[in-house]
Amino acid sequence: MNKCFALVLIALAACASPRDYSRLPSRWTEASGATQDAELALACTKLWELRLQQSPIWATELGDPRYYGKLPAHTPADRAHDLETKRRLWRSTHTIDPGRLNAEDRITLELLLEELEIEIAEENHPLAPHTWNLNGLGGPQSDLLSLAADQPRETEFEREQLIERWGRFPSYITSAGEDLREGVAHGRTAPQHAVQTVIAQLDALLATPVHESPLVGPAVEGGRWIALDPATEGARSRSGAEITQEQYDALSHRVLSTSNDVQYLYIPADDDALPFGERAALLEECLRLVSARIYPAYRRYRSIVADEVLPFARSDEEPGFGALPGGLEYYRLQVRRHTSLNMDPQEIHQLGLDELKRIHDEMREVGSRVFGTRDLAKIQARLRDDPELHFATAEEIEATAAACVARAEAAVPALFGNLPEAPCEVVRVPDHEAPDTTIAYYRGPAPDGSRPGRYYVNTYAPTTRPRYEAEVLAYHEAVPGHHTQIAVAQELTGLPLVRRHGGVTAYVEGWALYTERLCEELDLYSGDTDLLGVLSFDSWRASRLVVDTGIHAFGWSRRRAIDFLIDNTLLAPNNCANEVDRYIAWPGQALAYKLGQREILALRAQAEEALGDRFQLSEFHDVVLGSGAVSLGALRSIVEAWIEADISDESATVR
């Protein structure tokens, strides 16, 4: 058994009791942007504040100090209160007459009502996933660890809030366990593989010595731990680093942690901005919370998952929502949420099959140039099995990603009139989530400019990461994909904040997928092998239409879904498995990419045909990006209005 506890040799001053910051004024003085209608402006402000209250971790990412010490509402009473608040807001907003609004306000009203309506339906549904939907992509076993890296801690206030938030972790974890018990009691559980993945994540978390935990990382802040040699009265380390007895004695405070009968001495960073007494006090309190309260809460949570949920976990033969009572209805709701469309699953499924046929023909054409064969299986084998087409080290993956972003940043001004001011940096996916998460993801910049946009690239198991997908991946996640779109939206000061910082998945992901092919026009791909990466990604998104509906509407097994991705894309098998687990846990989200891309491409073709020689791609992009992440229906209205206005202007000029 791993023994892990903290010991402080000299008593340290306790951190001050957190003050009450709940009455701090909102920093969001212009939450409604340039919304003209006063009633609608008030609704925008109310919804924005509700979003922050419900998602204090997101509010922290946005830099709102009122929420630095909070966690999401997690008791049944909390959730009932939030649901009623949304109902009241929907009822009051629903009375606004769209006929009295200008065009921009009408879009805002439509988006607000649709968003609230879907959320109310979700939270009212018996399959609300908080009581049962375990998965390796999220949950207390990963979300809280990821939070630690971005938790503010520079000022005394921020350090107080860190300790307050960490003090809330145990009750948050406990509530998550109680939710799972409720799901079991009502016959709702996650599939077996998902439950086993979470157990493995919890085991890894609990096997980490407390002083090495990401949850203690914010208090360590650049310092290091030295393993002490018990034979030398603590003057020499077993890690290769040495300190003299004089240096050891000179530490006015000595913070030790003991793990597996080895003592570790904390040595602060040479450039630490905090006096050591303050650093030691923060570190002591953080160690105490993690060791005495948070780890025990995680152990209890693990017991619930392993002993009470796993025995009743659903078979991986039927992992989809459709296997649960009311599941197909809930799945249709998720399709609507993520795509903003009311499409039938069968229609989506067939569309995916049709898209795959088209993309496979392109693969054969490029494959014949690269490998001298049109046989899809042979092309797949060459790409998957050749070590030269895969990375060797994590450092190589990261360096390639950074080079791709820099190359794209130099090229995009040719096809865009409005580009964001916020920079984008490349960051590795944290170690604790890398084995079970996707190949990459993006997080937007802080509104105040204190944090850039971040492209997180997964460097785990580097020899499984294809070189031929590196370029298209960077362009999708960073520039001109997610970073360009999301950072531009944040800088649209005329829009209400709920539109600048939110939106429809099909728009966000459809744009990023659209830019993968756009980068061919920018000549950003190094060669035909990289174009096969583009086609791999396109076939992957088309396959999602088939696999997501297959799992949740047509009873596909986990294995069948993985095999379909392996057979129809160029993705590495480990990525195929992680992707399927994502679709199982997050129904409908994966449909957004291809459906959004198709709509943007259709609108571009419509504009090119209508405007002829007057069509400017940079203008089209500015129009598409100029209203935030709207629904696909709203986007069509915006683009068609731009086309009509241009035609009218041209007619007036001719006359």
Looking at the structure, do residues 585 and 453 belong to the same domain, yes or no? Answer: yes
Tokens 């195929």 belong to: 576
Q: What pLDDT, in 10s, does the model give residues 601-638?
A: 999 999 999 999 999 999 999 999 999 999 999 999 99
In a domain, 49, yes or no: yes
Looking at the structure, do residues 262 and 371 belong to the same domain, yes or no? Answer: no
Distance of alpha carbon 250 from alpha carbon 263, whole angstroms: 18
- pLDDT at residue 6 in the model: 30
Out of 65-69, 185-189, 243-247, least confident range? 243-247
Looking at the structure, do residues 219 and 91 belong to the same domain, yes or no? Answer: no
Does pLDDT of 21 surpass 60?
A: no
CA distances from 85 to 40, 88, 143, 376 (A): 16, 5, 26, 54
Count of other CB atoms within 10 angstroms of residue 91: 10
In a domain, 325, yes or no: no
Tokens 């990382």 belong to: 217
Q: What pLDDT, in 10s, does the model give residues 455-495?
A: 999 999 999 999 999 999 999 999 999 999 999 999 999 99
Looking at the structure, do residues 465 and 515 belong to the same domain, yes or no? Answer: yes
In a domain, 237, yes or no: yes
Looking at the structure, do residues 346 and 307 belong to the same domain, yes or no? Answer: no
Looking at the structure, do residues 248 and 306 belong to the same domain, yes or no? Answer: yes
- pLDDT at residue 338 in the model: 98
> Do 479 and 412 touch, CB atoms closer than 8 A?
yes
Looking at the structure, do residues 240 and 340 belong to the same domain, yes or no? Answer: no
In this prediction, residue 20 has a pLDDT band, given cuts at 50, 70 and 90, of low
Count of other CB atoms within 10 angstroms of residue 431: 12
Looking at the structure, do residues 374 and 465 belong to the same domain, yes or no? Answer: yes
In a domain, 360, yes or no: yes
- pLDDT at residue 536 in the model: 93
Task: Answer with the one of 572, 596, 620 that is the final residue of a domain.
Answer: 596
DSSP string, 187-214: T---BHHHHHHHHHHHHHHHHS-GGGST
Distance of alpha carbon 413 from alpha carbon 480, whole angstroms: 10
In a domain, 262, yes or no: yes
Task: Answer with the one of 278, 312, 346 that is the final residue of a domain.
Answer: 312
Structural domain span for residue 571: 331-596
Crossing angle of helices 573-585/528-553, nearest 10°?
A: 40
- pLDDT at residue 66 in the model: 95
Mean pLDDT of the chain: 91
3-class state of residue 380 by DSSP: helix
> Do 374 and 366 touch, CB atoms closer than 8 A?
no
- pLDDT at residue 342 in the model: 94
In a domain, 532, yes or no: yes
Distance of alpha carbon 184 from alpha carbon 529, whole angstroms: 49
Does pLDDT of 48 surpass 90?
A: yes
The DSSP bridge pattern shows strands 262-267 and 224-227 to be antiparallel
Looking at the structure, do residues 306 and 255 belong to the same domain, yes or no? Answer: yes
3-class state of residue 226 by DSSP: strand
Does pLDDT of 435 surpass 50?
A: yes
- pLDDT at residue 362 in the model: 97
Distance of alpha carbon 192 from alpha carbon 595, whole angstroms: 30
**Cβ burial, residue 528 (10 Å; 0-12/13-18/19+):** middle
Looking at the structure, do residues 424 and 551 belong to the same domain, yes or no? Answer: yes
Does pLDDT of 8 surpass 80?
A: no
The DSSP bridge pattern shows strands 255-259 and 453-457 to be unpaired
In a domain, 425, yes or no: yes
- How does 181-199 read in b/e, with b if 16+ C-beta sit within 10 Å? eebbeeebbbbbbbbbbbb
Q: What pLDDT, in 10s, does the model give residues 59-111?
A: 999 999 999 999 998 888 999 999 999 999 999 999 999 999 999 999 999 99
Q: Which of 618, 644, 555 is nearest to 417 (CA)?
A: 618
Looking at the structure, do residues 261 and 363 belong to the same domain, yes or no? Answer: no
In this prediction, residue 26 has a pLDDT band, given cuts at 50, 70 and 90, of confident
Q: What pLDDT, in 10s, does the model give residues 130-150?
A: 889 999 889 999 999 999 988
User: What contacts 347, CB < 8 A, 6 or more positions away?
Assistant: none
Tokens of 125: 């549904």
Count of domains forming the chain: 3
In a domain, 590, yes or no: yes
Does pLDDT of 1 surpass 60?
A: no
Looking at the structure, do residues 468 and 533 belong to the same domain, yes or no? Answer: yes
Task: Answer with the one of 72, 98, 125 that is the final residue of a domain.
Answer: 125
